[in-house]
Amino acid sequence: MHIGSEGKALIERWEGRRSTAYQDTAGLWTIGIGHLIGPDEQWMRTATLSAAQIDELFRRDIAWAEAATARLFPSVSKQNQFDALVSFVYNLGETQVRNGTLDDLIAEGATPESISAKWLQYNRSGGGITSGLVARRTAEVKLYWSHLWKAALVCLFIAAALFTGAAYSFLA
DSSP state string for the chain:
----HHHHHHHHHHH--EEEEEE-TTS-EEEETTEEPPGGGGGGGG-B--HHHHHHHHHHHHHHHHHHHHHH-TT---HHHHHHHHHHHHHH-HHHHHHSSHHHHHHHT--HHHHHHHHHT--EETTEE-HHHHHHHHHHHHHHTHHHHHHHHHHHHHHHHHHHTHHHHHH-
CA distances from 56 to 85, 144, 158 (A): 21, 26, 45
CA dihedral 7, 12, 13, 18 (to 10 degrees): 180
User: Are β-strands 18-23 and 29-32 bridged in parallel, bridged antiparallel, or unpaired?
Assistant: antiparallel
Per residue in 30-51, pLDDT tens? 999 999 999 999 999 999 999 9
pLDDT reported for residue 147: 83
CATH of domain 5-171: 1.10.530.40
CA distances from 34 to 29, 37, 51, 131 (A): 9, 9, 14, 17
Per residue in 49-97, pLDDT tens? 999 999 999 999 999 999 999 999 999 999 999 999 999 999 999 999 9
> CA-to-CA distance for 115 and 110, rounded, in angstroms?
6
Residue extents of the structural domains in the chain? 5-171
- pLDDT of residue 10 exceeding 70, the answer is yes
Global confidence as pTM: 0.85
Which strands form 29-32's sheet, in the order they lie side by side?
18-23, 29-32, 35-36
Per residue in 118-153, pLDDT tens? 999 999 988 889 999 999 999 999 999 998 866 555
- Any idea which residues carry the catalytic annotation? 15
